[in-house]
Chain A
């Protein structure tokens, strides 16, 4: 059983990229399953079904999807094993930019789109910085110059990753990306496996349902903004 984690900002093209990559992976792994982690709702399962890929969805509701991922990924792996899959791919929407689902020894892919602007790679946290491979989508609608600047910025944010442009619509580049997926080795269980970076608990009263605003209600792990003399914005 092989596992690959795929993460990226909402609507970056994760599903499109996984589906196009699976076309090539199917030549090596006959049964591929996907587990989709999202927050409130998703219709990705319909896209996967249409592409002939088995899928199970986990909705984290009022938890950070990456936290939810950590507590459920081993169960997903066991489910996939029982189903007789050769490869399980997790798709998770990186919503808080601070957490990331990447696990040590498990191939980690980050999907980002180059419409997001040159500063984006800097803003995306561990999900990008701890990935082995970065798939950049939507290069078909921006200029060559922007693609080159964007890939330079990605490399600055994570010099160790390989960067591959993938077109989520035509599948161009998906073949190259499938090589990164097929680097996965067999895992039986994730018991004891380590995340690549911590996913800190956000334990404040608002995490557990508090709705009233005001200092009286801010207990536990509260962080306040600091308002220094307004500085000239650094360029």
Chain B
């Protein structure tokens, strides 16, 4: 690593383009890229650094560590999760759950259960790679292997991306600028094309379109949700997407799920909506802290889904009429073919 410290930053930047960004983040502007990190750091004024709470030793050691981590992030972008295995533990009364579940990319799993039944606990177990050390005693494995020690808590191993109704964009930036910033932090090479793809995709999910220049905080509820889904599908590093009740989000839910599946995500969705529940390949029924049933969505249920979707479409038509300021004075019995 001393070698790195004695290599001109212009050369380092060829392999690690984010190296300039590191110096910027510690308030150092590089006038001459032919200088080496050592030379740049040595030239800094000790007193000024101390004032700002920096030290030369720390800047050097953090610089090396940051490059290492960023390189790791880049390589985990190509990391693949083939499977996530959940081995049952015990419910709140200590009764064994006796289930083993293997989730694969493209799976959609719904989680159903009453308030306080333990839905969030199950998702938290997945998130921290439980090893019989959470209140449920469950074990979670990735690609059939147990992750241990420090690996469990490393950011690049973060398995779960979350989408929920309570989430909002809070940064004061335009859509395009922010998505570009996200892409940059993921070390994506072609940022421009990625941003464009995310925005196009989000616009397909939401009703009203927005552009690159729209301020994030000006997006409507449905537009933000659509952008969050598109961004999570295409830019998040996490292979699992956890969706918490997006029933009323004003986005095309079917298209949203299709997108996540296409991007090889494992989708876990807690929902009370029968249509969403049937869109899943299976669902876990949780009661008293334990997984009581694993139900595969079968042909019989899927036949029902088609009818539900017809009804949903009709409701959608009524909503459109409402929005257009029309009166809803049609024969409902006929309309719904009851």
Contacts and interface: CB of A to CB of B under 8 A. Distances in A.
B329 interface: no
A159 B65 CA distance: 6
Interface string B174-185: 000011011001
B66 interface: yes
B288 interface: no
Contacts of A97: 53
Given A117-B172, A156-B25, A160-B62, A145 B124 contact: no
Interface in A142-178: 142-146, 148-149, 151-153, 155-160, 162-164, 170, 172-173, 175-176
B153 A162 contact: yes
Contacts of B152: 176
Interface in B194-247: 224, 227-228, 231-232, 235-238
B297 to A, nearest CB: 26
Contacts, number: 119
A118 interface: yes
Given A149-B181, A164-B153, A142 B69 contact: no
Given A158-B62, A162-B153, A172 B69 contact: no
A179 interface: yes
A129 B179 CA distance: 26
A151 B185 CA distance: 9
Contact of B170 (A125, A146, A157, A175): A146
Interface residues of A, number: 43
B120 interface: yes
Interface of B: 21-22, 25, 29, 50-55, 58, 61-62, 65-66, 68-69, 73, 120, 124, 127-128, 133-134, 150, 152-155, 161-164, 166-172, 178-179, 181-182, 185-186, 224, 227-228, 231-232, 235-238
Interface of A: 97-98, 100, 115, 117-118, 122, 125-126, 129-130, 139-146, 148-149, 151-153, 155-160, 162-164, 170, 172-173, 175-176, 179, 197-198, 200, 234
